Structure 1
Amino acid sequence: MILVEHTVISDDIRDELFVCNLSKCKGACCVEGDLGAPLEMEELPVIEKIAGAVRPYLSEAGQKELDKQGAYVLDSDGDYSTPTIGGKECIYAIYDDKGILKCGIEQAYLDGEIDWKKPVSCHLYPIRITKYDEFEALNYDRWHICAPACDLGKELGVPVYKFLKDALIRKYGEKWYSSLCREIEEREEEEKEA
């Protein structure tokens, strides 16, 4: 484990290799699973505020569910998440012309319609955060649908923490990320010397 400020980071985030390969997985993480994307409390007013600007980017089914369920839901685990269409894809998921699922929120952001990229849980995937009273635990989430990302990560030699640099900085800041990199570099030096 790696300790940085109020976070405990699993060694897998340093050791595992990962680069999203949308051409292979087709954005399956937006449709697989039982729930939508986890949302943090501070994201709820943001997603509610941008829902109108994002609505035109959504599929017809996504728009219907947005109208029916709202911008977010309280899920069966007692946490907030994005709504889904029939218990499958996130209402914010959209298909591009190649059949790849992408994020309607992110597309609105890229088009300059909103100033929020997407839920941080999506941006950070395959890292999942568990919050405790005194700290947050960051763990690498292994999922069979990400096998192409693991293969591409190995091919390119990119560890999870480097692939997710922007997302980690968004969540914890530059100083935190620099500390994480320093801790990892020091460990790697110690391991070489051992």
Structure 2
Amino acid sequence: MIQIDNVVLADEVVEAKFVCDLAKCKGGCCEDGDAGAPVTEEEMEIVRKNLAAILPYLTAEGRLELERQGLFTHDDEFGYVTPVMKDGLCAYGTRDAAGIIKCGIEAAYNDGKLGWKKPISCHLFPIRLIETSGYTMANYEPRDVLCKPACAFGKKLKVPVYQFLKEPLVRKFGQEFYDTLHQIAVEHFDITTPNRK
């Protein structure tokens, strides 16, 4: 385990290799799971305030599901989550012409309609954060079948999980945290690949 301040990371965050291979997985993490994406109170408020900017990027089915279930639902295990449709797809998700699932919230962000990319639980996948008494646990939890292409692609490119997820790690914990993690990776885990920019 790696501890930086009150964050405890599984060794696999540094040791394992991972790079999403969307051509193969089709963004399936947005529809494969026991519930929607976990969201914080702050994130729910951001969606509520920016709903008018987000709605045009959703499917008609997604918008109807938001009307039916609400913008968020509560799960006994994960707390507040994004609602999912009958086929398992997140209500905020869409499919492009190639069948790849994209996030409607992120699409609005990419078009400059809001200054927030998407829930941090989505951005950090396959790292899952678990809040415990005074600590945040960061575990590496790829899907057994769905993420096999990403694990293989990461090994081929020799990219550790934490480097692939640099942007969301910095977003969540800050640049100093990430730099410390990278230093630990180089000094204690023999990571020789360059730090991703």
The TM-score range, normalised by the shorter chain, is over 0.9
Match of 1:108 in 2: 108
Could you give the per-residue CA deviations for residues 8-66 of structure 1, whole angstroms, max 9, x where no partner exists?
Answer: 00000011100001110011101111210011222111121122211111111101011
Report % sequence identity: 44
Q: Is residue 38–residue 78 contact of structure 2 (8 Å, CA) maintained in 1? A: no
Q: Is residue 15–residue 189 contact of structure 2 (8 Å, CA) maintained in 1? A: no
Give the counterpart letter for 1:109 in structure 2: Y
Q: Is residue 62–residue 92 contact of structure 1 (8 Å, CA) maintained in 2? A: yes
The DSSP-based 3-state class of the residue aligned with 1:145 is coil
**1:182-193, aligned counterparts within 5 Å?**
182-188=183-189
Match of 2:168 in 1: 167
Give the counterpart letter for 1:185 in structure 2: V
The DSSP-based 3-state class of the residue aligned with 1:86 is coil
Whose helix fraction is larger, Structure 1's or Structure 2's?
A: 1
Match of 1:192 in 2: none
Alpha-carbon separation, structure 2, partners of 1:133 and 1:44: 23
Give the counterpart letter for 1:176 in structure 2: F
Could you give the per-residue CA deviations for residues 90-113 of structure 1, whole angstroms, max 9, x where no partner exists?
Answer: 001101111110100000100111
Match of 2:193 in 1: none
Alpha-carbon separation, structure 2, partners of 1:142 and 1:67: 31
Structure 2, unmatched stretches of 5+, are 191-197
Q: Is residue 51–residue 71 contact of structure 1 (8 Å, CA) maintained in 2? A: no
The DSSP-based 3-state class of the residue aligned with 1:39 is coil
Structure 1, unmatched stretches of 5+, are 190-194
Give the counterpart letter for 1:187 in structure 2: H
Give the counterpart letter for 1:50 in structure 2: N
Greater mean alpha carbon deviation, residues 134-143 or residues 162-171:
134-143
* CA RMSD of superposed structures (Å): 1.2
Alpha-carbon separation, structure 2, partners of 1:135 and 1:111: 35
Alpha-carbon separation, structure 1, partners of 2:122 and 2:85: 17
Match of 1:61 in 2: 61
Could you give the per-residue CA deviations for residues 98-145 of structure 1, whole angstroms, max 9, x where no partner exists?
Answer: 111010000010011111100000000000001012110100003120
Q: Which ranges of 4 or more aligned residues in structure 1 deviate by more than 3 Å?
A: none
TM-score, normalised by the number of residues in structure 2: 0.92
Alpha-carbon separation, structure 2, partners of 1:129 and 1:87: 26
Alpha-carbon separation, structure 1, partners of 2:130 and 2:185: 21
